[in-house]
Amino acid sequence: MSSAAVAAKPILAVEHVAVHFGGLIAISDMNFDVREGELVSLIGPNGAGKTTAFNVITGFLKPTKGRVTFRGESLNGLKPHEVTSLGLVRTFQRTSVFEKISVFENVLIGLHRRTKASLLGTILALPSERRAEAALREEVWEILRLVGIDHQADEMGGSLPYGDQRLLGVALALAANPSALLLDEPVSGMNASETGRFIDLLNKLRANGKTILLVEHDMPMVMGISDRIVVLNYGRIIANGTPSQIQNDPDVIQAYLGQGVKHA
Amino acid sequence: MKRFLPYLAVAFFASVPLWLQDQYFLHTLVVTGIFIIAAMSLNLLLGYTGQLSLGHVAFFGIGAYVSALTSLGFSLSIFGVQITHEPWPAVVGVILGTIIAGLCGYLIGKLAFRVRGAYFVIVTISFAEVVRLVSLNWVELTNGPLALPGIPPLTLGFEWTGFATLWGKGQNYYVVLATIVLAYVLIKRIVNSPYGRAMIALRENETLATSVGVSVTKYLVLAAVISGAMAGTAGGLYAHYIQIIDPMVFMFLNTVTMVIMVITGGKGTLAGPLVGGLIFGIAPVILRDYVGPEVQWILYGLLMILIVFVLPEGIVPAVERWFTRKTGNSAAKRSALVLESSKGARS
């Protein structure tokens, strides 16, 4: 699968991006791309700048330098909802569901980008609006079934078990019909069987042709599922390659395990 | 049962002028109804988008003044240019008042929603205070503290139906009741549509809402426009019913009354402002027979504190929960969205 992905052209490109918070350099010079249909993981120790990178790509933060392009279009200066409407959708580390809203309606909100309701039509309750609404509801069921939480449609988002909340977060992002999906630590805090279910879901999404950028700490999962891995440390990229290349990269080993102790 | 409740309520309130003898009480109901429309408009902002407008009376007052001046006519000079406006029908006044209050909602929304939460509260309070000072000091236009007297009552009808001028309390009562029904249907359709879902999503989790593609300013401004316009309609009805307005309509207390109606009734529920409005609109009149005005204000405050402490979500959600528990309905868990059951769409 990786050979096909390598041949495809880049869909998302991060070009010389730097982010400074006052004197703190969160990202110094980041340069990588993600190709169509590829699954790329962004890894690195805590505080390496992974989530900052996500925030820059999706418009929640403005880069100090550099730019991000999606399908050749610059994302600089776009607001988060405008980035979403280009087909680049993210999930969050924590707040990823509407807690006081049912699972079904969570996904219904997620479908926002695909509703074309007119205000006048809504106020007059035109039949076309009702049909569109019924079609949306049908789509919600499809997404819930794909993610595997359709039996919990009437539960409140916040009352789901943790793993299912993460799945709902992905369902919400999927509802926006992204061509590229950015997942921020989707399996953190999940147990082994929940992680297994999540990997199955990711494979299903890849089969549907979704491009995925993943930030994750679960190394067995990252090594098993990624086409390519980008390693960040102290705000800069220290390695970029296939899982086997990364596992043997001396810089990566040093970043994760520290300097080798000679007399050991 | 629950489905027919709105129809039963409308039927009951439509019958009130037929058997109610006490004209003063009917007057109270008309004024209460007008305030309920304003409270419903506030609920769209406060209840569904979560933004508190503490200057909501400004939209109400603007609607009232625009409507009054349109139907009274005025003559003033600005920088030496003489502007004279001949009186137009009262209905046109109410419509203009609605539109201009909606425009003010747009401006305030655009201005204030760059920064939300507390800043929005401050901007709306300031806006109401500025409008009050203008109405007080632009004597040439508004007559200042001397008030605008002799505002004509509404005249309804067409060429082919003949015209009726609404001098009576009963007639005005029905106009207000019809407007409430209209406002209720309007708000219900909006909050059950993708528009309302976007507003509720912003209230519940703004970051997540923007990440699924909801534009913050678009939907908050939209809510402010609809809310402002609806409050303007209420103001217009008020002007033509009371037939005299002065800068006192912009009193902060009027905003507080609307907020109390929404919060005690249940913010973010369709029926909340109606229930809260009825209680706090009628309570003063009933209490009047038993205690003096000072004691009344104290009781008023105590009642509110009691409701907020015992039923923090408001009366309507509490009654709903009690009702579902009593009937053993499994849908006891209440979603923040007010949608028909999702099961209907299950395939």
The residue extents of the domains of chain B are: 22-251
Q: Which two tokens stand for residue B202?
A: 């912003």
Chain B residue numbers with beta carbons less than 8 Å from the beta carbon of A104 are 342
How far apart are alpha carbons B273 and B195 in whole angstroms? Answer: 20
pLDDT confidence of residue B306: 86
Q: Kindly list the distances between the CA atom of residue A103 and the CA atoms of A143, A155, B172, B191, B268, in Å, as whole numbers in the listed order.
A: 11, 6, 45, 18, 19
pLDDT of residue B189: 92
The first and second tokens of residue B320, run together, are 């709903």
Distance of residue B100 Cα from the nearest chain A Cα, in angstroms:
19
Within a 10 A sphere around the Cβ of B2, how many other Cβ atoms? 10
Instruction: Please state, in angstroms and rounded to a whole number, the distance separating the CA atoms of residues A34 and A200.
Output: 21
**Nearest one of B305, B275, B262 to B45, comparing CA atoms:** B262
> What tens digit of pLDDT does each residue of A219-262 get?
888 898 999 999 988 888 888 888 888 888 888 888 777 765 55
Cα separation, B197 vs B36, in Å, equals: 23
State yes or no: pLDDT of A174 exceeds 50.
Answer: yes
pLDDT per position as a tens digit, A69-106: 998 889 888 888 888 888 898 888 775 789 889 999 99
Nearest C-alpha neighbor of A217 from the set A232, A204, A207, A203: A232
User: Chain B contacts of A100, Cβ < 8 Å?
Assistant: 204, 335-336
From start to end of chain A, where are the E strands?
10-21, 24-35, 39-43, 65-70, 73-74, 88-90, 180-184, 211-215, 228-233, 236-241
Q: Would you list the domain boundaries of chain A?
A: 2-94+162-257
Q: What is the average pLDDT score of chain A?
A: 85
Q: Which of A61, A79, A101 to mutate to test the interface with B (most CBs of B within 10 A)?
A: A101
Summarize the confidence of residues A173-178 as an average pLDDT: 87
pLDDT value, residue B329: 54
Tell me the sheet residues that pair with B133.
none
Give the pLDDT of residue B163.
Answer: 73
Please enumerate in sequence order all residues whose Cβ is within 8 A of that of B147, keeping only pairs 6 or more positions apart, or say none. Answer: B244, B245, B246
pLDDT, tens only, B295-342: 877 887 888 888 888 888 888 888 888 887 877 654 444 555 554 433
The whole-number pLDDT of residue B336 equals 56
Which residues from A are below 8 Å from B337, CB to CB? 101-102, 105, 108
- pLDDT number for residue B63: 95
User: Touching check for B189 and chain A: CB below 8 Å?
Assistant: yes
Taking 3-state DSSP, the helix, strand and coil percentages for chain A, each rounded to the nearest 5, stand at 45, 25, 30
A244, A205, A204, A226: which is closest to A32 by C-alpha? A226
What is the CATH T-level fold of the domain A2-94+162-257, as seen in this structure?
Rossmann fold (3.40.50)
Q: What ipTM score was computed for the predicted complex, to two decimals?
A: 0.77
User: Confidence class of residue A5 from pLDDT cuts 50, 70 and 90?
Assistant: very low
Are A97 and B222 a contacting pair at CB < 8 A? no
Contacts of B199 in chain A (CB under 8 A): none
A101 lies within 8 A of chain B by CB? yes
Contacts of B215 (CB under 8 A, 6+ apart): A79, A81
Over residues A96-126, the pLDDT tens digits come to 789 889 999 999 998 888 777 788 888 888 8
* Intervals of chain B under pLDDT 70: 1-2, 159, 162, 328-347
- Among candidates B158, B171, B170, which has minimal Cα distance to B89? B158
Per-state percent for chain B, helix, strand, coil, to nearest 5: 70, 5, 25
How many CA atoms lie within 13 Å of A172's alpha carbon, on the beta-carbon side?
32
**What pLDDT is attached to residue B319?**
87
Report the percentage of chain A scoring pLDDT > 70.
Answer: 94
Interface membership of A4 toward B (CB under 8 Å): no
Q: What is the pLDDT of residues A16-73, one digit of tens each?
A: 999 998 888 888 888 888 998 899 999 888 878 888 888 899 888 899 999 999 988 8
Give the per-residue pLDDT at B344: 36
